[in-house]
Amino acid sequence: MKQLRGSSPYTDLMKNLKSDCTSCCGLCCFALYFSKLDGFPQDKAPGVPCRNLQSDFRCAVHSELAERGLKGCIHFDCLGAGQRITRSLYSGRSWSESRETAAEMCRLFPEMRLLHQMLWYLIEASTLVPAASLLPRTGALICEVDACCMMPPQTILARLQEGAADELRARVNGVLKETIALTAAFVSPGSAGSGASGSSRDRDLIGKRFRGKKLDGRDFSAALLIASDLSGCSLRGVSFLGADLRDADLRGADLRDSLFLTPEQLASAKGDRSTRLSPHLLRPDHW
Ligand code: SF4
Ligand code: SF4
């Protein structure tokens, strides 16, 4: 079988995309909107601290999240955006210092999360052998996004207002789409582009049973795979970009060469020791 992943000069940047809650002022528990229905402890608006967030920014119920059914908290992963803001952009200061800082951090956090997500996808794209011809563009975008992450807060927010962030996202999406098509053609010539990326009907795969199937080269980007059965499936070159995998059964699935999976997607799905993962993904603790 031809190797799908190779080396990339950018993989070192992945270390910035691992969440370190000890270096963060609990931004996810303060800056985001969340709802009880999504497995959070309460319905709350952005800029309101969760009632379980303590003054030292630790969670008072951290050891009981599973017992309390707080799936939203267990699955959440900011890909390092929280500590980037707290440690690098605000030198360890927190949102609790002033109303201005709190308002700024609230606007910055979702944006930084998106930037980190883009970096995650682009770095993975840069390792894919079939997409080697895109490396000059992918690499340039990695440098551009990484530079954005290090800009002063005011500059990031100004760019947001000017629409520069949307334009950057569109360019990143373009490269990722090309990467997906090239990879699908590589692993499954003739079936490239088949799958879930077309109509909304194609994307609605809630509860679908695929058990044990060879799905190599399928495109599940943005698909609703909630509670689907992907157990024992071969998923080589399958894109899961932005797919909803909540409660999807991934036991025994071969995801070693699947594309664009994030820690949050994995944590929200069901897997176990028999689920095979690429080395850049950690097995969720609860699997
Ligand atoms: S924002 Fe990220 S780093 Fe900060 S507490 Fe939440 S998950 Fe941890
Ligand atoms: S319960 Fe804990 S982890 Fe969940 S939002 Fe509240 S403070 Fe954060």
**Segment 121-145 mean pLDDT:** 98
Report field, pTM of the whole predicted structure over 0.85: yes
Which residues, in sequence order, are bridge partners of residue 93? none
Instruction: Return left, alpha or beta for 178; rule: phi > 0 is left, psi -120 to 50 is alpha, else beta.
Output: alpha
Work out the angle at residue 171's Cα, subtended by the Cα atoms of residues 145 and 202, and round it to the nearest 5 degrees: 120
Find the helix packing angle between 135-149 and 164-187, rounded to 10°: 140
- Whether the CB of 72 sits within 6 Å of ligand 1: no
Question: Who lines ligand 2 at CB under 6 A?
Answer: 29, 40-41, 50, 52-53, 59, 61, 70, 73
Q: What are phi and psi of 251, to 5 degrees?
A: -65, 130
Torsion of CA 110, 204, 199, 4, to 10 degrees: 70
- Say which range, 6-15, 96-105, 157-166, 238-247, has the weakest mean pLDDT: 157-166
What was the pLDDT predicted at 220?
96
What was the pLDDT predicted at 196?
54
- Whether the CB of 53 sits within 6 Å of ligand 1: no
User: Across the chain, what does the average pLDDT equal?
Assistant: 94
- Closest CA to ligand 2's atom 3: 73
- Band (256; pLDDT cuts 50, 70, 90): very high
Q: Is 183 exposed, middle or buried (0-12, 13-18, 19+ CB in 10 A)?
A: buried
Say how many Å lie between the CA of residue 232 and the centre of ligand 1: 33
Strand runs labelled E in the chain: 254-255, 276-277
- Band (163; pLDDT cuts 50, 70, 90): confident
**Segment 49-71 mean pLDDT:** 96
Which ligand sits nearest to residue 55's alpha carbon? Answer: 2
- Closest CA to ligand 1's atom 4: 82
Torsion of CA 16, 18, 20, 26, to 10 degrees: 100
- Whether the CB of 24 sits within 6 Å of ligand 1: yes
What was the pLDDT predicted at 1?
76
